[in-house]
């Protein structure tokens, strides 16, 4: 098999890259370890920056997002029993869209199929070869048969557990990591919205987040021990914790409903540099992870793909390699901005078991500051909507 660009991973990064390249007349093949049903039903992100929705719309995959997604112009910070609003649109001119990641994936898969693009699901034993030569290839198994895909470039969009990153020699890589001593317990609930905007809550008992998926389905998270299992959390215990952390002294409260999905995710900040070695480029979670507090992961994956599409386009149209050479440095500027913001927001909002009473007061002082100073609120809002100069 031969193609121009071989893409490993059919997450948002891999599928969007394949689609954007197609729109520029560049051919690609996407290899995915999991099945189509599985990627289209895995519950992950929910918040899309305006830059992300604009790009999806320009690429012709925004129709359902526009009709089914919900545009939000602000969010609330809850602390000390009160609620304070961050007016995203008033402060930055931008809004966000709440639309589930697996719905984005359904739209992208449909677009690739409609355009006769090749996406191979359920591949196994993926391995990269010759990435420091001009004739790289990807070997894999599909439907019981071994295959080799020859291409000009290999793009590793295979997420945090993929194989691409480890194909860059250890001596040429530098990894930066911070693991947080807490996790997020996530639930999906059949209930009306508890609020018309997202609520990020800081409480002595721990962080909580009230998000949404549709008028009838709500997404909520609360900080838990990363070693917890879902069996430890009965529905009653979950609601007691969410009420304690989110309900305000003014009587605003979380609306209960039938919980139909529970999961626990770990929290990690991670950046691997370089994002390019020879003919291999990394994009999305394959190169960097943020804790979900700032809602940045998917948006960063999309931002990488935007830069990489331009670089590959300039190579195929004009024979230029300068944008390929600067890809890693260009992408890393936005990545480090998002890493800092996600870390900052995580530290401000979570119960930190090693924090002294002094440091806990600092969290509250910081929340008071970002909700009363227009300058501080603007800085937070710019980061949250992704309208930052990098």
Residues engaged in binding ligand PHB (CB under 6 A): 45-47, 198, 209, 211, 219, 292-293, 295
Closest approach of ligand PHB to the CB of residue 294, in Å: 6
Distances (CA, A) of 382 to 103, 300, 328, 372: 26, 15, 23, 16
Note whether 264 and 230 are within 8 A (CB). yes
Q: How many helices (H) and strands (E) does the chain have?
A: 11, 20
Tokens describing residue 55: 């790009």
Task: Give the residue, chosen from 3, 5, 7, 8, that forms a contact with ligand RFL under the rule CB under 6 A.
Answer: 8
Roughly how many angstroms between the first and final C-alpha of the chain, as a whole number?
39
> Which of 7, 20, 21, 31 lies at the binding interface for ligand RFL (CB under 6 A)?
31
Min. distance of Cβ 282 from ligand RFL in angstroms? 9
219 binds, among ligand PHB, ligand RFL, none (CB under 5 to 8 A by kind): ligand PHB
Give CA angle at 102 (98, 103), nearest 5°: 60
Question: What are the two backbone dihedrals, phi and then psi, of residue 39, each rounded to the nearest 5 degrees?
Answer: -70, -30
91 token code pair: 């402060």
- The correct pick among 76, 107, 285, 313 for binding ligand RFL (CB under 6 A) is 285
CA–CA gap between residue 128 and residue 126 (Å, rounded): 7
Contact region with ligand RFL (CB under 6 A), list: 5-13, 87-95, 229-237, 328-336: 5-13
Alpha-carbon span 245 to 239, nearest angstrom: 10
Q: Is 389 helix (H, G, I), strand (E, B) or coil?
A: coil
Stretch that binds ligand RFL, among 43-51, 87-95, 306-314, 321-329 (CB under 6 A): 43-51
Catalytic residue among 99, 200, 221, 327: 200
Q: In whole angstroms, how close is the CB of 128 to ligand RFL at the nearest point?
A: 10
Q: Which two tokens stand for residue 64?
A: 């359902």
Among 9, 117, 136, 183, binds ligand RFL (CB under 6 A): 9
CB of 31 to ligand RFL, least distance (A): 5
Q: Which residues, 6 or more positions from 341, have their beta carbon under 8 angstroms from its beta carbon? A: 294, 296, 383, 384
- Window contacting ligand RFL (CB under 6 A); options: 88-96, 155-163, 248-256, 369-377: 155-163
Say whether residue 331 binds ligand RFL (CB under 6 A): no
292 closest CA partner among 188, 189, 222: 222
In the residue annotation, 200 being an active-site residue is answered as: yes
Between 320 and 333, name the residue whose CB sits nearer to ligand RFL. 333
One-letter-per-residue 3-state SS of 122-175: CCEEEEEECCCCCCCEEEEEECCEEEEEECCEEEECCCCCCCCHHHCCHHHCEE
> Tokens 């009653």, residue?
236
Active site residue 296: yes
Candidates 40-48, 174-182, 189-197, 336-344 — which segment interacts with ligand RFL by CB under 6 A? Answer: 40-48
Q: Which residues bind ligand RFL (CB under 6 A)?
A: 8-14, 31-34, 39, 44-47, 101, 123, 126, 157-159, 161-163, 184, 186, 265, 284-285, 292, 295-299, 301
Q: List residues with catalytic annotation.
A: 72, 200, 292, 296, 384
């Amino acid at each position: 098999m031969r193609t121009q660009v071989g893409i490993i991973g059919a997450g948002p990064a891999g599928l969007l890259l394949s689609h954007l390249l197609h729109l520029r007349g560049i051919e690609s093949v996407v290899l995915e370890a999991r099945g189509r049903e599985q990627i289209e039903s895995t519950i992950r992100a929910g918040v899309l920056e305006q830059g992300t929705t604009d790009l999806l719309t320009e690429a012709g995959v925004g129709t359902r997002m526009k009709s089914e997604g919900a545009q939000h112009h602000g969010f609330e910070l809850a602390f000390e029993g009160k609620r304070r609003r961050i007016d995203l649109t008033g402060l930055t001119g931008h809004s966000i869209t709440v639309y589930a990641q697996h719905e984005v994936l359904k739209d992208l898969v449909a677009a690739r199929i409609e355009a006769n693009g090749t996406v191979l699901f359920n591949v196994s034993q993926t391995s990269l070869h010759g990435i420091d030569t001009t004739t790289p290839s990807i070997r894999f198994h599909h439907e019981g048969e071994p295959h080799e895909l020859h291409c000009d470039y290999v793009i590793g969009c295979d997420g945090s557990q993929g194989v691409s990153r480890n194909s860059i020699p250890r001596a040429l890589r530098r990894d930066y990591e911070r693991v947080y001593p807490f996790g997020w317990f996530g639930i999906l609930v059949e209930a009306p919205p508890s609020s018309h905007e997202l609520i990020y809550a800081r409480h002595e008992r721990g962080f909580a987040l009230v998000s949404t998926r549709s008028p009838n389905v709500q997404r909520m998270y609360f900080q838990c021990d990363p070693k917890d299992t879902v069996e430890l959390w009965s529905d009653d215990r979950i609601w007691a914790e969410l009420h304690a952390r989110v309900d305000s002294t003014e009587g605003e409260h979380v609306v209960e409903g039938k919980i139909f999905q529970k999961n626990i995710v770990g929290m990690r900040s991670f950046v691997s540099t370089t994002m390019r070695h020879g003919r291999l480029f990394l994009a999305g979670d394959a190169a960097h992870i943020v804790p979900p507090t700032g809602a940045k992961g998917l948006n960063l994956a999309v931002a990488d793909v935007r830069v990489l599409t331009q670089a590959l386009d300039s190579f195929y149209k004009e024979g230029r390699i300068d944008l390929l050479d600067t890809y890693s440095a260009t992408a890393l500027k936005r990545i480090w901005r998002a890493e800092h913001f996600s870390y900052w927001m995580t530290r401000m909002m979570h119960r930190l078991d090693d924090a002294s009473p002094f440091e806990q007061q600092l969290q509250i002082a910081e929340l008071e500051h970002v909700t009363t100073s227009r300058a501080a609120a603007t800085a937070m809002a710019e980061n949250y909507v992704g309208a930052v100069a990098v």
